[in-house]
C-alpha cells in the first residue's frame, strides 16, 4: 500500500457479498483508497489503521462497534439492481416464494426493497438459516435471493438470483464525504449504478411483452432512476416516462404520456452543447434551462426490431450540486480554467523554441516547476500552457499573486479558515485556494514576495501534501501540482536570509528561465506582426528606420511594454499601409546616438548602488571581450576572476550576470553558448578602463 492512502475496510457476513462490494468500491476509488474486506467469520482479519469501516447492513452495526472501537463505521443503504427481475415479475400472482438472505434483518430489508419497487403480487416468505423447519418454508418451492443460493433449502427447485444489492447513490456520496474524496467520483459511480439498471431494463424489454408486465417494468425500473428518463417511439410519441421526468418536464402536472415529444422539448432553452452528434445514430448531450432549472439532457438513439427510437435522460444540475455542497471541491470551476496553451506563445528564435519544447516535457510530469524571468516576459502565459498540456488539464487551474494580497489575508486565502477563527469569518468556514486547486494546478506568482510565515506553511504543503486551515484542527490532504514564478533573485534572497533555502530547493525541481526580449531580437519584428494580426486583424509593413528603432531598444518592460508600443503604432498609423518611425512612441523616436560618458557614469553609479562593484563588472567584461565572438560560461568566469584575485561564488556570479543582462551589458545565449558583451557593455568597459588609467579606480 502506498504511504498516505486512506484505508477502507468492508465487513459483511457473507464472503460473496464482501467480494462484490469490494470490487464495486475499488473500481471507483481504488486509485486513492486502499480497499480491503473480510467477513465476520474471519476472526483474525486485520483492520488496524482503517479510516472507515463499511458494513453490509445495519444489522452488523452493534457487532462492528464492539469489534472496531474508535473507527468510523458506515452502514449504507443498499438497493436492488434489477438483475433477473423479469423472472420475478413473471411468477404467477399469489405465488409463495422464499426470500433468502442472512440474518433476519437482511432478509426483511430485501423483502421491503422488492415491495418498494412495486413487486407486490407475490406472497413473500422470509428465510434465514434458523428457519429451516418452519411449515411455510417447507411449502415454498421457489426462492429469490440477492446472491445467496448457497443458503437455499434443498427442497427448493426454482431459484431466482436477483444479484447482490448495490450501494445507493446517496450512501456512496456519504462514503466520499467520510473519506474526504473529490465528488467527481460520483460521476464514475453513477455510470456503474446506471449500467446495472439499464442492463435490467434491457432484459425486461426483451422478455416482457404483456401490457401489464410492461407497466410494471416502467414502475420498477424507470422510477428507480434518480435522473429523469423518457423513451420516444419511432412516431415521436412519449411511450415511457418516469416520475422524475414528469416533474422536470411538466411541473404543472399535465399528462405527457402518448403526447408528441418535440413540442415539449421545444420549450427547453439550450445553453451549451456537451456532446455534438455527427450522425443520426450518435449520442448527443447539452445543457438546457427549463422553468428556471438547469438540466443536462442526453439523447441516445436505440434501434430495436428494425425501428429507431430514442432514450432521453434529464439530470438536474442543482441536484448534483446539492450532493457536492459539503465537499471541498465544487462542481463548477469557472474562473479556474486555463486561457492559453503553447500555441499562444509566439516567437521564432531558437531560445523560445527550446524553451517551449522543454516546458512541454516538464508539463507531462507532476513535478514542481519554478519559472524565473524579468517582469513582462510571460511567466503566467507559460504556467497556463503547462497546465493545459499536463495530466491534470481536466482539473482546476488556480492562480494566486503574492504581490497582490495583503499580509493579513494571504494565509486565509491560501489555506482557508474554519468558522469562528477570526472576526468576520464566514459561517461554516471557507476552503482556501490550495483546496480549490485539488486535482489540478496552483500557480504561485511572485513567490519571492511571500512572508517568512507563509514560506514555512508552503513548505509543509509541498512536503506533506496536506494543510491545516487557519483556526482549524483537522489535517486536510490536497493533491495539487505547484507551478511557481518570480522575477526576484531567489539565490540572493537566500543569502540575505529573506527566502528559505529548503523552500527554494522544493520549488526549483524543474527550473524554467524565460529570457528577456532584448536577448532575442529576432523575435521583435515577428511579435510585432503577430500582435497586429491577432489583436487588430490587420497586416502592415514596417519602414526600415522603424524596424531599426524597435530592434535597438532594450525593452526593460519586455512583452508588456512591447504590447503598448504595438497599440500606439497601430492607432497612430491609421490610414497608412506602412508604419513609419514617426508612428512609434516618442521614446523610440530619439536619435540612435552613441552612449555618452554621462550615461555611462550614471550606469556605473547604479551598478555600485545595486551591490555590483564596477571593478568586478569591468573584470567580467574584460574576460568576455577576450573570448569574442564566442561566449563564456559561469564556471569559467568564476575561475578567470579568481586568477586576478577576485573570488566570486557561483550564486553571486549568477546574480551579477542577471543584473548586467538587465542593464543591457551582456547577452546570454541558449544552451552552451555562454555570456558575451553587447555594444553597450563594451562601451562601459572602455569607460571604466579609461577611469582606471586616469584616476586609478573605475568609479
Question: Would you say the CATH fold of 342-513 matches that of 6-75?
Answer: yes
User: Is residue 319 within 8 Å of residue 296, measured between CB atoms?
Assistant: no
The chain-wide mean pLDDT, for the chain, equals 81
Q: What is the pLDDT of residue 674?
A: 72
CATH topology assigned to domain 6-75: Rossmann fold (3.40.50)
Q: Is the CATH code 1.10.10.10 the one for domain 225-324?
A: no
Asked whether the predicted pLDDT for residue 210 surpasses 50, the reply is: no
pLDDT (average), residues 567-582: 90
3-state class (DSSP) for residue 5: coil
Q: Is the pTM of this model over 0.85?
A: no
Q: Is the CATH code 1.10.10.60 the one for domain 597-695?
A: no
Rounded-to-integer distance, Cα 547 and Cα 525, Å: 7
Asked whether the predicted pLDDT for residue 384 surpasses 90, the reply is: yes
C-alpha closest to that of 469 among 418, 413, 402: 418
The CATH class that applies to domain 518-588 reads mainly alpha
Rounded-to-integer distance, Cα 228 and Cα 221, Å: 12
Domain ranges of the chain: 6-75, 79-166, 225-324, 342-513, 518-588, 597-695
Highest mean pLDDT among 78-87, 249-258, 494-503: 494-503
Show Cβ contacts of residue 506 under 8 Å, excluding neighbours closer than 6 positions.
368, 459, 462, 463
Highest mean pLDDT among 210-224, 431-445, 503-517: 503-517
Asked whether the predicted pLDDT for residue 72 surpasses 80, the reply is: yes
Asked whether the predicted pLDDT for residue 206 surpasses 70, the reply is: no
What's the DSSP call for residue 316? E
For 175-202, write each residue's pLDDT tens digit: 999 888 888 888 888 888 777 777 766 6
Q: Kindly state the helix (H) or strand (E) to which residue 238 belongs, with its residue range.
A: strand 238-241
Q: What is the pLDDT of residue 333?
A: 43
Four-CA torsion 277, 282, 283, 287, nearest 10 degrees: 10
Q: What is the pLDDT of residue 356?
A: 93
3-state class (DSSP) for residue 304: strand
- Give me the phi and psi of 24, to 5 degrees please: -60, -50
In the block, residue with C-alpha cell 403480487: 121
Show Cβ contacts of residue 454 under 8 Å, excluding neighbours closer than 6 positions.
402, 410, 411, 414
Answer positive or negative: Cα dihedral of 429, 434, 438, 442. positive
Q: What is the pLDDT of residue 319?
A: 66
For 141-171, write each residue's pLDDT tens digit: 788 888 777 788 878 878 888 877 888 888 8
Side-chain-facing half-sphere of 139: CA atoms under 13 Å: 9
Q: What is the pLDDT of residue 89?
A: 76
For 5-62, write each residue's pLDDT tens digit: 889 999 888 788 888 889 989 988 988 899 988 887 665 556 667 889 998 888 788 8
Characterize the bridge pairing of strands 52-55 and 73-74. parallel
The CATH class that applies to domain 342-513 reads alpha beta
Rounded-to-integer distance, Cα 32 and Cα 53, Å: 16
Amino acid at each position: 500500500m502506498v504511504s498516505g492512502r486512506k484505508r477502507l475496510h468492508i465487513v459483511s457476513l457473507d464472503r460473496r457479498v464482501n467480494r462484490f462490494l469490494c470490487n464495486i468500491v475499488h473500481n471507483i476509488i481504488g486509485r486513492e483508497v486502499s480497499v480491503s474486506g473480510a467477513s465476520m467469520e474471519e476472526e483474525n482479519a486485520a483492520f488496524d489503521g482503517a479510516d472507515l469501516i463499511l458494513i453490509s447492513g445495519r444489522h452488523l452495526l452493534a457487532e462492528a462497534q464492539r469489534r472496531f472501537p474508535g473507527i468510523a463505521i458506515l452502514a449504507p443503504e443498499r438497493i436492488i439492481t434489477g438483475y433477473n427481475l423479469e423472472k420475478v415479475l413473471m411468477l404467477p400472482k399469489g405465488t409463495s416464494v422464499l426470500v433468502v438472505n442472512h440474518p433476519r434483518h437482511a432478509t426483511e430489508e430485501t423483502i421491503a426493497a422488492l415491495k418498494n419497487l412495486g413487486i407486490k403480487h407475490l406472497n413473500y416468505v422470509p428465510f434465514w438459516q434458523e428457519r429451516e423447519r418452519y411449515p411455510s418454508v417447507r411449502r415454498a418451492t421457489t426462492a429469490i435471493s440477492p446472491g445467496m443460493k448457497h443458503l437455499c433449502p434443498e427442497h427448493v427447485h426454482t431459484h431466482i438470483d436477483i444479484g447482490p444489492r448495490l450501494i445507493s447513490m446517496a450512501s456512496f456520496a456519504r462514503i466520499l464525504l467520510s473519506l474526504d474524496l473529490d465528488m467527481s467520483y460520483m460521476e464514475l459511480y453513477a455510470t456503474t449504478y446506471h449500467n446495472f439498471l439499464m442492463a435490467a431494463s434491457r432484459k425486461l424489454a426483451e422478455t416482457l411483452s404483456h401490457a401489464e408486465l410492461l407497466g410494471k417494468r416502467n414502475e420498477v425500473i424507470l422510477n428507480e432512476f434518480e435522473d429523469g428518463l423518457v423513451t420516444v417511439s419511432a412516431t415521436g410519441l412519449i411511450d415511457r416516462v418516469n416520475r422524475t421526468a414528469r416533474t422536470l418536464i411538466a411541473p404543472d402536472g399535465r399528462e405527457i404520456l402518448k403526447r408528441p415529444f418535440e413540442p415539449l422539448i421545444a420549450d427547453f432553452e439550450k445553453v451549451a452543447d456537451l456532446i455534438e452528434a455527427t450522425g443520426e445514430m450518435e449520442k448527443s448531450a447539452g445543457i438546457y434551462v427549463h422553468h428556471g432549472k438547469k438540466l443536462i439532457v442526453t439523447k441516445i438513439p436505440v434501434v430495436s426490431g428494425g425501428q429507431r427510437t430514442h432514450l432521453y435522460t434529464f439530470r438536474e444540475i442543482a441536484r448534483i450540486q446539492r450532493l457536492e455542497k459539503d465537499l471541498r471541491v465544487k462542481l463548477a470551476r469557472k474562473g479556474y480554467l486555463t486561457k492559453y496553451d503553447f500555441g499562444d506563445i509566439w516567437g521564432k528564435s531558437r531560445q523560445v523554441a527550446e524553451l517551449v519544447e522543454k516546458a512541454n516535457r516538464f508539463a507531462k510530469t507532476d513535478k514542481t516547476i519554478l519559472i524565473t524571468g524579468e517582469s513582462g516576459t510571460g511567466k503566467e502565459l507559460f504556467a497556463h500552457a503547462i497546465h493545459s498540456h499536463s495530466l491534470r488539464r481536466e482539473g482546476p487551474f488556480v492562480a494566486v499573486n503574492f504581490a497582490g494580497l495583503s499580509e493579513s489575508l494571504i494565509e486565509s486565502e491560501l489555506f482557508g479558515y474554519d468558522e469562528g477563527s477570526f472576526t468576520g469569518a464566514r459561517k461554516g468556514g471557507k476552503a482556501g485556494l490550495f483546496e480549490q486547486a485539488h486535482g489540478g494546478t496552483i500557480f504561485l506568482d511572485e513567490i519571492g514576495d511571500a512572508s517568512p510565515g507563509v514560506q514555512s506553511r508552503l513548505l509543509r504543503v509541498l512536503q506533506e501534501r496536506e494543510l491545516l486551515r487557519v483556526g482549524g484542527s483537522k489535517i486536510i490532504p490536497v493533491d495539487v501540482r505547484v507551478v511557481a514564478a518570480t522575477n526576484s533573485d531567489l539565490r540572493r534572497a537566500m543569502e540575505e536570509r529573506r527566502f528559505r533555502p529548503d523552500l527554494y530547493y522544493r520549488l526549483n525541481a524543474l527550473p524554467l528561465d524565460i529570457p528577456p526580449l532584448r536577448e532575442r531580437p529576432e523575435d521583435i519584428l515577428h511579435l510585432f506582426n503577430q500582435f497586429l494580426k491577432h489583436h487588430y486583424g490587420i497586416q502592415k509593413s514596417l519602414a526600415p528606420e522603424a524596424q531599426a528603432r524597435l530592434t535597438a531598444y532594450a525593452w526593460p518592460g519586455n512583452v508588456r511594454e512591447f504590447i503598448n508600443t504595438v497599440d500606439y503604432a497601430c492607432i497612430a498609423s491609421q490610414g497608412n499601409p506602412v508604419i513609419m518611425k514617426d508612428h512609434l512612441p516618442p521614446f523610440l523616436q530619439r536619435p540612435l546616438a552613441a552612449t555618452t560618458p554621462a550615461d555611462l557614469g550614471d550606469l556605473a553609479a547604479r551598478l555600485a548602488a545595486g551591490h555590483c562593484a564596477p571593478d568586478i563588472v569591468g573584470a567580467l567584461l574584460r574576460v568576455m571581450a577576450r573570448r569574442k565572438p564566442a561566449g563564456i560560461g559561469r564556471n569559467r568566469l568564476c575561475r578567470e576572476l579568481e586568477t586576478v584575485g577576485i573570488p566570486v561564488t557561483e550564486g553571486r556570479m549568477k546574480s551579477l550576470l542577471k543584473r548586467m543582462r538587465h542593464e543591457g551589458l551582456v547577452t546570454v545565449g541558449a544552451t552552451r553558448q555562454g555570456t558575451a558583451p553587447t555594444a553597450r557593455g563594451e562601451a562601459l568597459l572602455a569607460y571604466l578602463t579609461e577611469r582606471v588609467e586616469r584616476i586609478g579606480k573605475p568609479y
